[in-house]
Structure 1
Amino acid sequence: MHDDFAVREAYARQLLERYSQWLSRIEEVDCREIEAVASELEAILSKEDSRLHGTVMKQIGELQGRVTEMLWISEHMKILHDLSHIFAKTFEESKILWKAFELVSRVMRADAFFIAFFDEGDSEIRIPISIDSGINYGPITVPYGQGMISHVIDTRQTIHIRSRAEEPSEPEMIRWGSPEIDTSTCIFVPLMLGNQVKGVISAQSYREFAYKKEHEELLKIIGFQVASAIETARLYERVYQMSFMDELTGICNYRAFHNELEKLLGEDGSSVALIMLDSDNLKSVNDQYGHHSGDELIRRIAEAMKVNLGNRDSAYRYAGDEFMLLSPGATLKEAEEKVQAIRDYLHAHPLVLEDGVIPIGVSVGIARFPADANTADGLKRAADEALYRSKRRGKNCTSVFAIGS
Structure 2
Amino acid sequence: MREDLTEKDVYTRQLLEKYCQWISRIEQVDQIEVESTANEMKTKLPEADSALHGRVLQEIGNLHEKVTEMQRMSEHMKILHDLSHTFAMTFDVNQILWKAFELVSRVMRADAFFIAFLNEGDSEFQIPISVESGVNYGPYTIPYGQGLVTKVIESGETIHLRTMSDEPSEIEIVRWGREEIDTNTCLFVPLMLGKQVIGVISVQSYKEFAYKQDDEELLKIIGFQVASAVENARLYERLYQMSFQDELTGLANYRAFHRDLEQLLTEGRPVALIMLDSDSLKAVNDRYGHHLGDELIRRVADAMRAVAEDGDTTYRYAGDEFMLLSPDATLEEAEEKACAIRHYLEQSPLIQEDACIPITVSVGIACYPSDANTGDGLKRAADEALYRSKRKGKNCTTVYAVG
TM-score by length of 2: 0.94
Aligned mates of 1:364, 1:90 — CA distance in 2: 43
Aligned partner of 2:135: which letter?
I
Q: Identical aligned pairs, as a percentage? A: 68
- Give the equivalent residue in structure 2 for 1:17: 17
How is 1:115-154 mapped onto 2 (pairs within 5 angstroms)?
115-154=115-154
Which aligned segments of 4 or more residues in structure 1 are displaced greater than 6 angstroms?
none
Q: CA 1:299–1:29 in structure 2 vs 1: closer, same or farther (change >3 Å)?
A: same
Alpha-carbon displacement from aligned partner over 1:259-301 (angstroms, at most 9, x marks no partner): 1112222234x22111100111111222222222211111111
Single out whichever of 70-79 and 51-60 deviates more from structure 2. 51-60
Residue 99 of structure 1: how far off its partner (Å): 0.8
Matches within 5 A, 1:148-187: 148-170=148-170, 172-173=172-173, 178-187=178-187
Aligned ranges 1:234-249 → 2 under 5 Å: 234-249=234-249
Amino acid at match of 1:332: L
The answer to whether 1:357 aligns with 2:383 is no
Question: Alignment partner of 2:172: what SS?
Answer: helix
Secondary structure of 1:200's counterpart equals strand
Report what 1:6 is aligned to.
Answer: 6
Give unpaired runs (5+ residues) of structure 1. Answer: none
2:104 and 2:255 map into 1 onto residues whose CA distance is 40
Letter in 2 for 1:248: L
Contact 1:111–1:133 (8 Å) recurs in 2: yes
- Note the C-alpha offset of 1:42: 4.5
Amino acid paired to 1:302: A
Give the direction of change, closer, same or farther, for the CA distance of 1:175–1:23 in structure 2 (3 Å limit).
farther
- Counterparts of 2:261 and 2:88, CA distance in 1: 32
**Range with greater deviation from structure 2 (365-374 or 283-292):** 283-292
Encode CA deviations 1:124-154: one digit per residue, 9 max, x unaligned: 1111111111111111111211212222222
Deviation at 1:172, TM superposition (A): 1.4
The CA deviation at 1:161 is: 2.2
Larger mean Cα displacement after TM superposition, 155-164 or 90-99 = 155-164
Map Cα deviations across residues 79-99 of structure 1 (whole Å, 9 max, x no partner). 000001001111111111111
Q: How many pairs does the alignment contain? A: 402
Please give the alpha-carbon distance, in whole angstroms, between the structure 2 residues aligned to 1:25 and 1:66: 13
CA distance in 2, matches of 1:297, 1:51: 96
1:366 corresponds to which residue? Answer: 365
Name the structure 2 match of 1:379: 378
Normalising to structure 1: TM-score of the pair? 0.93
For residues 83 and 344 of structure 1, the distance between their equivalents in structure 2, rounded to whole angstroms, comes to 57
Aligned to 2:320: 321
Distance 1:397 1:173 in 2: 66
CA separation of 1:176 and 1:370: change in aligned 2, threshold 3 A? closer
**Per-residue displacement from partner, 1:320-375 (whole Å, max 9, x unpaired)?**
11000111222222212211211111111112223622211211101011111121
Q: Is the Cα contact below 8 Å between 1:316 and 1:325 reproduced in 2?
A: yes
Tell me the residue number matched to 2:295. Answer: 296
Which residue identity is paired with 2:372? A
Q: Does 1:103 align with 2:103?
A: yes
Q: Which residue of the partner structure matches residue 212 of structure 1?
A: 212
SS at match of 1:233: helix
Q: In 2, Cα distance between the equivalents of 1:399 and 1:79? A: 63
Give 1:301's aligned amino acid: V
Q: How does 1:271-310 map to 2 (within 5 A)?
A: 271-310=270-309
SS of 1:125 mapped into structure 2: strand
Cα distance in 2 for residues equivalent to 1:282 and 1:102: 58
Amino acid at match of 2:109: R
Q: What secondary structure is seen at the aligned counterpart in 2 of 1:256?
A: helix
2:377 alignment partner, SS class = helix
CA distance in 2, matches of 1:22, 1:160: 35
Contact 2:8–2:44 under 8 Å retained in 1: no
TM superposition shift of 1:312: 1.9
354-363 or 334-343, which moves further after superposition?
A: 354-363
Distance of 1:176 and 1:312 partners within structure 2 = 38
Tell me which amino acid in the other structure corresponds to 1:323.
F
Instruction: Tell me by how many angstroms 1:171 deviates.
Output: 5.3
CA distance in 1, matches of 2:36, 2:176: 38
SS at match of 1:363: strand
The alignment partner of 1:342 has SS state of helix
Matched, 1:74 2:105: no
Specify whether residues 186 and 391 from structure 1 end up closer, same or farther in structure 2 by C-alpha distance, changes over 3 A only.
same
Q: Is the 8 A contact 1:148 1:175 kept in 2?
A: no
Matched, 1:340 2:335: no
Q: CA RMSD in A?
A: 2.1
User: Within 1, Cα distance between the matches of 2:165 and 2:247?
Assistant: 59
Kept in 1, the 8 Å contact 2:189–2:200? The answer is: yes
> Which structure 2 segments of 5+ residues have no match?
none
Greater mean deviation of Cα atoms: 253-262 or 25-34: 25-34
Matched, 1:389 2:388: yes
Deviates more, 1:391-400 or 1:3-12: 3-12
- Once residues 64 and 14 of structure 2 are traced to their aligned partners in structure 1, the CA distance between those partners, rounded to angstroms, is 20
> What letter is aligned with 1:343?
R
Question: How far apart are the structure 2 equivalents of 1:141 and 1:10?
Answer: 68
CA distance in 2 between counterparts of 1:375 and 1:29 reads 71
Contact 1:158–1:189 at 8 Å: present in 2 too? yes
Counterpart CA distance in 1 for 2:142 and 2:30 is 42
Q: Report the CA distance between 1:75 and its aligned residue.
A: 0.6
Counterpart secondary structure, 1:276? strand
